[in-house]
Amino acid sequence: MLEKILAKDNLDQQDIIYLLKLEDKADVKRLYEKAREVKQAYVGNKVYYRGLIEFSNYCSKDCYYCGIRKSNQEVPRFTVSEAEILETAKWAYDNAYGSITLQSGERSDPLFVEFCESVIANIHKQSNQELGMTLCMGEQSKETYKRWFNAGGSRYLLRIETTNPELYEKLHPKSSLHSFEQRLACLDTLREVGFQVGTGVMIGLPDQTYEDLAKDVLFFQAKNIDMIGMGPYVVHNDTPLGAQTIEQNLNTMQDRAWRLRVSLNMIAVCRILLKDVNIAATTALQALHPLGREKGLEAGANILMPIITGQEHRKAYQLYNNKPCINDTAEHCKNCLFDRVKSVDNQVGYGEKGDSPHYYKRLQEG
């Protein structure tokens, strides 16, 4: 059965569910092997860095799972100054990181929009337009997306979190600020504006089924998505969903091991089905296993997001418990990641933007 599915050119929902459920050691090994074959053929074995600058944890949203949700009073709030963000971006450039990712809590007030626009434009200028820039600042108006794109942002990552609208509702307050339809519409808008568009989901959420996850993968395919950033759901104990997950005894070692395995299977399935997209081995994988990100690369991912946020801010930017590297510096993360990439026989694409090949194919096809 496994070989029959792996030999197919396209996968249907049942095939995907079969692959996501694999847990036998030899089967999983075979699945990752196939994913690595496809990775080698379509994107090569280079891993591209997106130095992650988490520049502000102020957030207007109240997502039930997220550690920096508006109602969490335990988190000291911060915004890094423009000068410091520029300095951090310069560090990335000087260290031949091909790209950075700017990430923050979600705000859409004029001050924030302008601040981001200026930061993006100045990073673009100071790096001679050579640094790729992925933006991860949530749902915004078309006008804002346009301004940030024109300032020099080239990619945008906006996770759909889950494509099951009922599950989405359980994860978010019922308000116009947390609308599933709005999130969906934003993905289309980003595409229209011209970004390379990334999305993703959380994996192993309470009440999430294999069918949900299979539909998520088919959604990425149907939406012609260029980049995927997804990872396991990781409990944050100061959040409503985190507290509930613990209370219902759904965060045992077995639960966490299961979330990790299904996340890796998701990466492999996405690689096998979608082929030429960029897929990140996200930090959340490492929150569940010390070698989580390496495992992600072995399962078919080709992007790493080394945290380069200043050490003093890392503690206050915890979307989930157990976030790794919060006591590290950018320098430390750089050396550590190099070893990790080498350990799985991949190379770092230093100084290269590492854009999604799928994006260029999509442009060619009009």
User: Which residues here bind ligand 5AD, judged by CB under 6 A?
Assistant: 65-66, 159, 161, 202, 231, 233-234, 236, 284, 319-320
Helix, strand and coil content of the chain, in percent to the nearest 5, comes to 50, 15, 40
CB of 282 to ligand 5AD, least distance (A): 8
CB of 278 to ligand 5AD, least distance (A): 17
Give the residue with the Cβ less far from ligand 5AD, 85 or 288.
288
Give the residue with the Cβ less far from ligand 5AD, 99 or 245.
245
CB pairs under 8 A, 24+ apart, for 118-124? 118/82, 118/151, 119/55, 119/82, 119/85, 119/86, 120/148, 120/151, 120/152, 120/153, 121/151, 121/152, 122/82, 122/86, 123/85, 123/86, 123/89, 123/152, 124/151, 124/152
CB of 178 to ligand 5AD, least distance (A): 12
Give the residue with the Cβ less far from ligand 5AD, 288 or 348.
288
Give the residue with the Cβ less far from ligand 5AD, 57 or 196.
57
What is the DSSP-derived secondary structure letter of residue 307? Answer: B
Q: Which token pair is 48? A: 């591209």
The region, left, alpha or beta by phi > 0 then psi within -120 to 50, assigned to residue 73 is: alpha
Q: Please answer whether residues 183 and 160 qualify as being in contact, where contact means their C-beta atoms are separated by less than 8 angstroms.
A: yes
CB of 309 to ligand 5AD, least distance (A): 13
Report which secondary-structure segment, H or E, holds 113.
Answer: helix 110-126
Cα distance between residue 314 and residue 101, in whole Å: 15
CB of 6 to ligand 5AD, least distance (A): 29
Q: Which token pair is 252? A: 């045992």
CB of 320 to ligand 5AD, least distance (A): 4
Give the residue with the Cβ less far from ligand 5AD, 168 or 233.
233
Give the residue with the Cβ less far from ligand 5AD, 95 or 179.
179
